[in-house]
Amino acid sequence: MFGEIHFRNLGRSSVALRKYQLGETVFFEEPLVRSFPPEQYFIELCDKHEIDRMFGVFLIGYAFAEEPKQNWISNQMYAPDESTLDVYTTFRPTIAAFCPDLNQYLAQRYVSHPLHWTPHIEREPLIYTSNILIHMWLIWNTNSHSFNAFFEQMTNDPIVSKDENLDPPYNEVSEEVGGEIGTAIFEVASRVPHSCAPNMSYVVKKQMPAGLRYRCVRRVKIGELLSFSYIESYDIMFRPTSMRRADLMRHKYFFCLCPRCRAEDMTRPLFCPDVHVCKTPQATRRPGQLPVAVRCDVEGWSFMSSHPDMFGSEEDEDWKVEVSLPE
């Protein structure tokens, strides 16, 4: 049980209206709009224009979705402020070249498509413009979830993955490859905000009805904001605040202000007394014990040996170990 609340910076988000235990399901949801199965012809089209394949196959599903769903996603989903980004200068030429080929492909597939597409085509395809594509890319990049790109078997009829009678010929990419590039947007799940210390994670349910199941990764209190991590790399999750924020700004276009990022950073690099960051420090320690000295790659050992009260004394050379820190 959860309720909706509107934050100025987060938009519409959800808060817990009761306590949740570790591993408990918070909600299950079917997708609002999802990717269509990838086919070789369209994958090659995306590669030709250097368009992200995952974004490309989602555009097919969005183009054939009902107009109310399209309007809701376009108007209700959070998207970074386009005026503050460089997408117009770096992305617009690519999008402008991709638009005509994309619209031609959609028009052809509307007339000539495989049978297992028919239940999912809800309208004539949307005609994309550069502005629509850029806006959709910002929404998709921030709000989409990984989701199986292949349609579930609705009947006992076999799905023909290769059909030379269609124009252009249809050659569906194998699920081992195509399943990894599917995404979807959800009415509730796609508005769950990010946190570097999330209280939920999700799993994809592939069996009918397919959808997302959000479960708690720790106990959740009443009134607590429900969140999960937008950071895809587990390695980045254990990095300093500056690296997590840089990763989110680079890929999601927002500056993280979650409780963990605003708290003391327990994973920051070591700082020298001379107010510079050691990029490749060395720690001197006995095996199994805490370091008794830190070697500065800028000042060197001389600074440490002249300040034994601050760093301790240099021990046996065998006790030196390298400490790898991010650039």
pTM of the model: 0.74
For range 289-293, the mean pLDDT? 44
Say whether 211 sits in a helix, a strand or coil: strand
- Cα separation, 41 vs 178, in Å, equals 13
Of 77, 94, 74, the closest CA to residue 86 belongs to 94
* Residue 182: predicted pLDDT: 87
Q: Residue 204 above 90 pLDDT? A: no
Say what the pLDDT of residue 97 is: 92
- Best CA proximity match to 80, nearest among 9, 183, 178, 180: 9
Q: Is the pLDDT of residue 317 over 80?
A: no
Q: What is the pLDDT of residue 11?
A: 56
**Whole-Å CA distances, 93 to 85, 86, 166:** 15, 12, 31
The full 3-state SS of 221-283, as one line of letters, equals CCCCECCECCCCCHHHHCCCHHHHHHHHHHHCCCCCCCHHHHCCCCCCCCECCCCCECCCCEE
Pair type for strands 33-34 and 200-205: unpaired
Residue that wins the pLDDT comparison between 163 and 312: 163
- Give the pLDDT score at 191: 85
Is residue 153's pLDDT more than 70? no
Report which of residues 295 and 217 the model is more confident about: 217
Judge residue 209's burial from the number of C-beta atoms within 10 Å of its C-beta, 0-12 exposed, 13-18 middle, 19 or more buried: exposed
Alpha carbon distances (Å) from 64 to 123, 140, 303: 5, 16, 67
pLDDT tens digit sequence for 219-228: 999 888 899 8
* Confidence (pLDDT) at 303: 42
Residue 65 pLDDT > 90: yes
**What are the structure tokens assigned to 326, written together?**
């991010």
Q: Report pLDDT for 142.
A: 87
Q: Is 83 exposed, middle or buried (0-12, 13-18, 19+ CB in 10 A)?
A: exposed
Name residue, tokens 């918070």.
26
Q: What is the pLDDT of residue 99?
A: 94
Region of poorest pLDDT, from 55-69, 142-156, 173-187, 228-242: 142-156
* Overall average pLDDT of the 219-245 stretch: 86
Residue 240, pLDDT above cutoff 60: yes
Over residues 267-289, the pLDDT tens digits come to 655 444 444 444 444 444 445 54
Looking at residue 133, what is its pLDDT?
A: 92
Provide the residue type at 32 as one letter: L
Dig out the tokens for 29 from the structure: 């949801």
CA separation for the pair 136, 115 (Å, rounded)? 27
Q: How far apart are the first and last CA of the chain?
A: 43
Is the per-residue pLDDT at 118 higher than 60?
Answer: yes
Alpha-carbon dihedral 58, 61, 63, 67, rounded to 10 degrees: -120
CATH architecture of the domain with range 13-32+186-229: Beta Complex (2.170)
List, by residue range, all CATH 2.170.270.10 domains of the chain.
13-32+186-229
233 or 272: which carries more pLDDT confidence? 233
Average predicted confidence (pLDDT) for the chain? 76
Q: Residue type at 280?
A: T
Residue 215: is its pLDDT beyond 50? yes
Q: Identify the pLDDT of residue 283.
A: 45
Segment 159-174 shows an average pLDDT of: 77
Q: How confident is the model at residue 311 (pLDDT cuts 50, 70, 90)?
A: very low
Q: What is the pLDDT of residues 120-136, one digit of tens each?
A: 899 999 999 998 998 89
List 29's β-bridge partners, or say none: 212
- Write down the pLDDT at residue 291: 44
Pairing relationship of beta strands 170-171 and 183-185 according to DSSP bridges: unpaired
* Residue 143 Cα distances to 98, 152, 173, 320, angstroms: 22, 23, 25, 46
Token readout for 153 is 């078997």
Confidence of residue 101 (pLDDT cuts 50, 70, 90): very high
Q: Is the pLDDT of residue 293 over 50?
A: no
